[in-house]
Amino acid sequence: MTEYTQLINNLEALDLVKIKSYLPEFLDKNKKDSTILISALNELTDLELKDKMFRASENLIRTAAFPFRKTLEDFDFSFNDSIDKDYIMDLATLRFAEDNKNILFLGNPGVGKTHLAVALGIKATQCKYSVYFTTCHQLISKLNKAQKENRIDKQLQHFAQYKILIIDEIGYLPIDRQGANLFFQLISKRYGKKSTIITTNMPFGAWGDVFNDNILASAILDRLLDQAYVVKIVGESYRTKYLAVNKKSAG
């Protein structure tokens, strides 16, 4: 790519139609300075383009409603042997989202499930994917409320639209029958079309209890697990480790 073709690309990306169409005439008029002008315009449009991308990503991050901002760079892979860094970095290529596959993080509290889910979500916003983070409890409450207020189709459509939906903490709180039904409808709507990232502390065999219905639970799991990436994390809680270290240094 020459500096000129790069400049044309930048003008297109910034939608600067008038400047782009006038550019050849402008450079013809200033032939002896053309290379320096191209270079200067390139530098300026590069700056604007980077800022535009940053603003777009910030907007997507705001919409995503992450509970915190933590990235894969913040994750200490040496802390837990059961987490394969290469496997997670492969997920971070976002191939899974291109292929509309799901990710399920399974493990005890404090092992980093939410951190990894959020980190992948942030990575996705940087690549312009729409992302939304919700706890399972919040999601079910919103679906139940929408059902009561006769606007469930719209609400399901809303949650179905995100390229990546992160549903955090399945299994921490019980789910009522209507909530379980609506959850199933949402997962069915997204199945094969969008990616869902789940975190749970409950082994899949116990999901019948979580959803208060064995058949519904296996129908949900069928769809979620079809060609999904399952990351089982075992080991001690990162939270507890730091509590222990802090206590030691305080005492």
Ligand X SMILES: Nc1ncnc2c1ncn2[C@@H]1O[C@H](COP(=O)(O)OP(=O)(O)O)[C@@H](O)[C@H]1O
Is residue 155 close enough to count as binding Mg ion by CB under 5 A? no
Length of the chain: 251
What's the CA gap between 98 and 48, in Å, rounded?
28
DSSP state of 205: G
Nearer Cβ to ligand X, position 95 or 239? 239
Q: Which of 203-206's residues contact partners 24+ apart within 8 Å by CB, and which partners? A: 203/106, 204/106, 206/171
Written in H, E and C, the secondary structure of 106-144 is: EECCCCCHHHHHHHHHHHHHHCCCCEEEEEHHHHHHHHH
Contacts to ligand X by CB under 6 A: 70, 75-76, 79-80, 107, 109-115, 199, 238-239
What's the CA gap between 229 and 226, in Å, rounded?
9
φ, ψ of residue 236 to 5 degrees: the values are: -85, 165
- Look up tokens 């933590």; give the residue: 70
Stretch that binds Mg ion, among 87-95, 107-115, 118-126, 238-246 (CB under 5 A): 107-115
Q: How far is the CB of 67 from Mg ion (least distance, A)?
A: 9
Nearer Cβ to ligand X, position 70 or 101? 70
φ, ψ of residue 83 to 5 degrees: the values are: -100, 115
- Look up tokens 């459509």; give the residue: 157
Nearer Cβ to ligand X, position 10 or 115? 115
Q: How far is the CB of 151 from Mg ion (least distance, A)?
A: 29
Nearer Cβ to ligand X, position 110 or 121? 110
Nearer Cβ to ligand X, position 38 or 88? 88
The entry of Mg ion, ligand X, none near residue 238 (CB within 5 to 8 angstroms by kind) is ligand X
Q: How far is the CB of 169 from ligand X (least distance, A)?
A: 7
**Position among 42, 45, 80, 114 found at the interface with Mg ion (CB under 5 A):** 114
Q: Given the rule CB under 5 A, which residues bind Mg ion?
A: 114
